[in-house]
Amino acid sequence: MNLHHILLIVRHELAVERRAAEVVGLVTPFALAALLVLPIALGIDQATTSRVGFAAFWMISLLFGGQIAWRQATGHVRAVTDQVRLSGIDPASAFFGRFLANLILLVLLMTISLLGTIVLFSPPPIAAAHWLGAGVLLFAIGLAVIATVISDLTIGLRSRGAIAALLVGPLAIPLVVAAAQVGQAATVSGQLRPGGILTWVLVLVLIDLIGIIAGVLTARPLEETLG
């Protein structure tokens, strides 16, 4: 893998996003709107909304975060993908660049959504913010890598968004299980046993590592499928 190539792809992806403003202008507001609808659907009962706050946050992060991956710049236009391939950039570097760009945008989405969750749901006070932060970051890494792999698997397909969503959801479930436990344990009312929360953090790290390795290893064979 080549750092220069990785940064080139990251830069291009973020440049396209800056112009298109799809994540900042569409996905994030839509995610916030979904967060707004949920307490209304629950009956605006403060105790209930407080209890489900973080659960809503992880669900919104999964459902809307995955969308970030299949809006990719270098995979969207086939001719651009061809030129990236012809440039000689190693497929693993191109994959890693796309993954990093997705991660940056996902962290942005999740940060804004977390703030929205705290404001709208008034979840239990956070006693261990560093653990929650670690959980958010590790969740974002895992989702970004899964979504990037799935995005590469579905290039050129009609109904790409629907198929990608169908594939990302179930594959990301271990992430949700682990991240939800980290989030809960980081609150005042959660279990603050260091052993407990550390175990879930390690589960997240394991999932992320497996995902990144799988993504890098499958980058070259996936490129062969482009035809």
The residues of the shown chain that bind other proteins, judged by CB under 8 A, are 8, 12, 15-16, 19-20, 73, 76-80, 82-89, 149, 153-154, 157-159, 163, 166-167, 169-171, 173-174, 177-178, 181, 196, 199-200, 203, 206-207, 210, 214, 218, 221-222, 224-227
| 117 vs 154, beta carbon nearer other proteins | 154
Residue 77 Cβ, how far from other proteins at the closest point, in Å?
Answer: 6
Residue 58 Cβ, how far from other proteins at the closest point, in Å?
Answer: 14
Q: What is the DSSP letter of 123?
A: P
Residues 6+ apart with CB under 8 A from 118: 53
| 13 vs 116, beta carbon nearer other proteins | 13
Taking the C-alpha atoms of residue 184 and residue 79, their distance in angstroms, rounded to an integer, is 46
Taking the C-alpha atoms of residue 25 and residue 167, their distance in angstroms, rounded to an integer, is 25
End-to-end distance of the chain based on CA atoms, in angstroms? Answer: 23
Q: What is the DSSP letter of 187?
A: B
| 106 vs 204, beta carbon nearer other proteins | 204
Q: How far is CA 81 from CA 73, 89, 203, in A?
A: 9, 11, 34
Residue 173 Cβ, how far from other proteins at the closest point, in Å?
Answer: 5
| 115 vs 217, beta carbon nearer other proteins | 217
| 33 vs 214, beta carbon nearer other proteins | 214
Residue 103 Cβ, how far from other proteins at the closest point, in Å?
Answer: 19
Among 9, 28, 219, CA closest to 107: 28
